[in-house]
Chains A and B, each alone.
Chain A
Amino acid sequence: MSVVELDHISKRYEQKIAVDDLSLKIDAGTIFGLLGPNGAGKTSSIRMMIGITLPDSGRVRLFGEPFTRRHLRRVGYLPEERGLYAKMQVLDQLVFLGRLHGLDAASAARSAKQWCEKLEIAEALGKKTEELSKGMQQKIQFIAALLHDPELVIMDEPFAGLDPINSHLLESALLELRQAGKAILFSTHRMDQIEKMCDSIALVNQGREVLSGGVREIKSRYPRNRIALEFEGDGSFLSDPMIAEARNYGNHVQISLKDGADAQELLRRAASQARIYKFEWMEPSLEEIFIHTVTGRADA
């Protein structure tokens, strides 16, 4: 049974189609990445997933049943646009949000304290939100989505604006949640995080799904035409006709080959001119696949 099942959902606003015939499934114990350029329909899809808006057509199923608001008690949501009451004390705020999700006041407070300790911001509990830094507010928002121990966690850009230390803290929290069998969906622009964390992804563009599947499987679909090269000496081989583009970063060059080019031959030519320290065939990064798919360009 999939925790989330979107079945051909579409949503049209006045002038444009926000989501066009999107289908996807998210299973328990997995992390699902929703990718796409700005305005691709990610947030619109998420909103339909949790009943903030209703699809014009198509069906939403949560926990194996057609969506009802009852399901929301089992869902934690971190919206892209963060929203907390600026003048409210953090603990009061978390208890309030926890109670809206069906917790009683005492267990909401207990859970809030546990999470704050885990994410190393216990000192924020007695403060007003407006007194906190952006990063701390974001952690509070993160906690607000998880207080009631949801089975489905939906996070829109959870890492935006966090420093590496806090980013890492939240990453580990999400990985633990996956370990505990929760289904997690997050959307982000940061491909490194997707590669590191996601089991499967969907890439949407202009409301349509343009790519989906397991991260490994998607990457294997794309040819290896990239080479990372380090050398010393004559670099004239870089203008070889087999090379579509070469980015020279000084002692490090990234090369994209033209279709049908023979990498082995390129290595021979390079070795005849210069001293080669490294010559590595690279698998395409999700970022490249993303840009390639969205813009239709192979380079970038």
Chain B
Amino acid sequence: MPDALLIARREYLQRVRSKAFLFTTLLFPLLIALIVGGGFFASSQGRSGSGKLTMVIVSNDAALAQSVQSELDTGAQSSLSVGVVAPAGPGERRKIEGEVAHGEYDGLLWLDVPPGSLRPRALYEGHLSGNQSSVATVRNALTRAMTRRVLAAQGLPPLEIEEAVAPVNLRTIDLKGRGRSFMNFLGPYLMALMLYFSVIYYGMNVARSVVQEKTSRVFEVLLASTRPESLMAGKLLGVGAVGLTQVAIWVALALLRAGPAMATAGGKASLGALGITFSQTAFFVLFFLLGFLLYSAIAAGFGACLDSEQEVQQFSFIIVLPMVACLVLTPSVIENPGGMLSVVLSLLPPCTPIIMFLRLSAQTVPLWQLALSLVLMFAAIWAALWVAARIYRVGILMYGKRAAPSEILRWLRSS
């Protein structure tokens, strides 16, 4: 086995067996789940959350109340559990208002049908009243119940009434490249976040492990049998493989979770509610690899110049900076993925992994731009590896002090 592979193998096994690996592998999806869950909760008040919301309809017209109830409480996707108190007078209403105030119900729909009229005066109150989507649900239910009632009053047979009120199946298509809201771009956005975290995390891991081997003087032992280039290559390979393993576990978890959704997606691999496609997953892996190689090569060079893990912490911001800038600019890129800013950013190698990934998810990127970004990325990776290997060769044997920039330039020239 070549030295680089032996070193990569050691690095890989050592890391995959560590508690930190287990921890981050499990923690990260959990964090994402929390963010996603929080997002859905904010938008629909916990529709994906725990249990159903309860609501009560209070009316002096029992028939209307039951009709509205059945409109609200049908279908498996209904997240409401609806009770009915009818016929009810002002006494019951006050009692139930008290119960709503005490939190026994989440919402109260008050339907008061004046004598001799078909149309009710309707009042909706409760914890849900500020929420547009639940108000819309209630309004729809009311409208349909009223339609049924009016049509029935005109003597239409039930089948035709059913025909009239049945909801039209509205197909929706995303127009790529037009203004998007964050919510319907959640999947790709989260993937970009994961990309950011994993590239940074594994890049910094490389820097840290270089410094560790430097401070523990393991390098000196290894250099007595192998080249610095093999050491660096082995380290990048090993740590990169750990990152890939982790990404693979995440993808597998997401696929498991999205299994039922995929079955209905007609063979097109779609990661369920998040709307993540197979090609996005492939690009994710590609850009993880490219981003990791670029950033970890830089990190390896950095690590070789530094002398302690604290120094790695201090200097990590330099490495992280371009990535953070990309994250900050993400909203503008999502809004206008074909714009000048987005195109330029996606061609800059330090930004390519995140920005190009977002653009690819948001629009059909011109092929030449994708190709150019990949060529530039490969060139940048090659350059970073070249420089890092030279710094590495000298730096890993320098103990006890941090190398000054002028010194590093000399290393580059001398080797």
Selected from A47, A72, A81, A86, the residue in CB contact (under 8 A) with B225 is A72
Chain B 377-415 interface mask (CB, 8 Å, partner A; 1/0): 000000000000000000001010000000100100000
In Å, the complex CA distance between A50 and B227 comes to 11
Task: Contact check, B216 vs A97: say whether CB atoms are below 8 A apart.
Answer: no
Task: Contact check, B217 vs A99: say whether CB atoms are below 8 A apart.
Answer: no
Query: Is A100 interfacial (CB-CB < 8 Å)?
Result: yes
For B251, list chain A residues within 8 Å (CB). Answer: none
Task: Contact check, A87 vs B14: say whether CB atoms are below 8 A apart.
Answer: yes
Task: Contact check, A96 vs B6: say whether CB atoms are below 8 A apart.
Answer: yes
Whole-angstrom distance between the Cβ of A196 and the nearest chain B Cβ: 26
Interface-central residue, B10, B14, B216, B224, by most chain A CB under 10 Å: B224
Task: Contact check, A53 vs B397: say whether CB atoms are below 8 A apart.
Answer: yes
Query: Is A265 interfacial (CB-CB < 8 Å)?
Result: no
For A83, list chain B residues within 8 Å (CB). Answer: 213, 216-221
Query: Is A300 interfacial (CB-CB < 8 Å)?
Result: no
For A141, list chain B residues within 8 Å (CB). Answer: 221
Whole-angstrom distance between the Cβ of A14 and the nearest chain B Cβ: 7
Whole-angstrom distance between the Cβ of A167 and the nearest chain B Cβ: 21
For B282, list chain A residues within 8 Å (CB). Answer: none
Q: A53-B397, A81-B217 are in contact. Are A100 and B226 (CB under 8 A)?
A: yes
Task: Contact check, A100 vs B399: say whether CB atoms are below 8 A apart.
Answer: no
Q: Which residue of A lies closest to B13 (CB)?
A: A92
Query: Is B1 interfacial (CB-CB < 8 Å)?
Result: yes
Query: Is B3 interfacial (CB-CB < 8 Å)?
Result: yes
Chain B 259-280 interface mask (CB, 8 Å, partner A; 1/0): 0000000000000000000000
Chain B 202-236 interface mask (CB, 8 Å, partner A; 1/0): 00000000000100111111111111000000000
Selected from A79, A82, A96, A99, the residue in CB contact (under 8 A) with B224 is A79
Q: Which residue of A lies closest to B227 (CB)?
A: A69
Q: Which residue of B lies closest to A100 (CB)?
A: B225
Query: Is A52 interfacial (CB-CB < 8 Å)?
Result: yes
Query: Is A84 interfacial (CB-CB < 8 Å)?
Result: yes
Query: Is A185 interfacial (CB-CB < 8 Å)?
Result: no
Task: Contact check, B217 vs A96: say whether CB atoms are below 8 A apart.
Answer: no
Task: Contact check, B226 vs A52: say whether CB atoms are below 8 A apart.
Answer: no
Whole-angstrom distance between the Cβ of B392 and the nearest chain A Cβ: 13
Q: A14-B410, A85-B14 are in contact. Are A97 and B223 (CB under 8 A)?
A: no
Task: Contact check, A50 vs B216: say whether CB atoms are below 8 A apart.
Answer: no
In Å, the complex CA distance between A82 and B213 comes to 11
Chain B 347-364 interface mask (CB, 8 Å, partner A; 1/0): 000000000000000000
Chain B interface residue count, CB cutoff 8 Å, equals 24
For B3, list chain A residues within 8 Å (CB). Answer: 100
For A84, list chain B residues within 8 Å (CB). Answer: 216, 218, 221
Task: Contact check, A88 vs B217: say whether CB atoms are below 8 A apart.
Answer: no
Q: A52-B397, A88-B14 are in contact. Are A101 and B216 (CB under 8 A)?
A: no
Q: Which residue of A lies closest to B226 (CB)?
A: A100
In Å, the complex CA distance between A224 and B232 comes to 56
Within 8 A of A (CB), among B252-300: none
In Å, the complex CA distance between A264 and B369 comes to 98
Selected from A52, A88, A144, the residue in CB contact (under 8 A) with B223 is A52
In Å, the complex CA distance between A85 and B6 comes to 15
Within 8 A of B (CB), among A32-75: 47, 50, 52-53, 69, 72-73, 75
For B397, list chain A residues within 8 Å (CB). Answer: 47, 52-53
In Å, the complex CA distance between A77 and B397 comes to 16
For B222, list chain A residues within 8 Å (CB). Answer: 100
In Å, the complex CA distance between A49 and B213 comes to 22
Chain A 123-161 interface mask (CB, 8 Å, partner B; 1/0): 000000000000000000100100000000000000000
Whole-angstrom distance between the Cβ of B23 and the nearest chain A Cβ: 15
Q: Which residue of A lies closest to B14 (CB)?
A: A88
Task: Contact check, A77 vs B218: say whether CB atoms are below 8 A apart.
Answer: no
Interface-central residue, B6, B219, B223, by most chain A CB under 10 Å: B223
For B14, list chain A residues within 8 Å (CB). Answer: 85, 87-88
Task: Contact check, A77 vs B221: say whether CB atoms are below 8 A apart.
Answer: yes
In Å, the complex CA distance between A141 and B222 comes to 12
In Å, the complex CA distance between A69 and B232 comes to 17
In Å, the complex CA distance between A52 and B228 comes to 9
In Å, the complex CA distance between A82 and B220 comes to 8
Whole-angstrom distance between the Cβ of A4 and the nearest chain B Cβ: 14
In Å, the complex CA distance between A100 and B221 comes to 10
In Å, the complex CA distance between A237 and B322 comes to 82
Within 8 A of A (CB), among B1-26: 1, 3, 6-7, 10, 14, 18
In Å, the complex CA distance between A47 and B397 comes to 10
Q: Which residue of B lies closest to A144 (CB)?
A: B221
Task: Contact check, A97 vs B221: say whether CB atoms are below 8 A apart.
Answer: yes
In Å, the complex CA distance between A87 and B225 comes to 21
For B220, list chain A residues within 8 Å (CB). Answer: 52, 79, 81, 83
Q: Which residue of A lies closest to B221 (CB)?
A: A83
Task: Contact check, A50 vs B218: say whether CB atoms are below 8 A apart.
Answer: no
For A97, list chain B residues within 8 Å (CB). Answer: 221, 225
Task: Contact check, B6 vs A79: say whether CB atoms are below 8 A apart.
Answer: no
Q: Which residue of A lies closest to B394 (CB)?
A: A53
For B213, list chain A residues within 8 Å (CB). Answer: 83
In Å, the complex CA distance between A52 and B227 comes to 8
Q: Which residue of A lies closest to B17 (CB)?
A: A87
Within 8 A of A (CB), among B88-122: none
For A69, list chain B residues within 8 Å (CB). Answer: 227
In Å, the complex CA distance between A163 and B35 comes to 58
Binding site for B on A (CB under 8 A): 14, 47, 50, 52-53, 69, 72-73, 75, 77, 79, 81-88, 96-97, 99-101, 141, 144
User: Can you report 26 A-B residue pairs in the complex whose CB atoms are below 8 A from each other?
Assistant: A50-B224, A52-B220, A52-B223, A52-B397, A75-B224, A77-B221, A79-B220, A79-B224, A81-B217, A81-B220, A83-B217, A83-B219, A84-B218, A84-B221, A87-B14, A88-B10, A97-B225, A99-B1, A99-B6, A100-B6, A100-B7, A100-B222, A100-B226, A101-B225, A141-B221, A144-B221
Given A83-B217, A84-B221, A100-B222, output 14 extra A-B contacts at Cβ < 8 Å: A14-B407, A52-B224, A52-B397, A73-B225, A75-B224, A77-B221, A77-B224, A79-B221, A81-B217, A81-B399, A85-B216, A97-B225, A141-B221, A144-B221
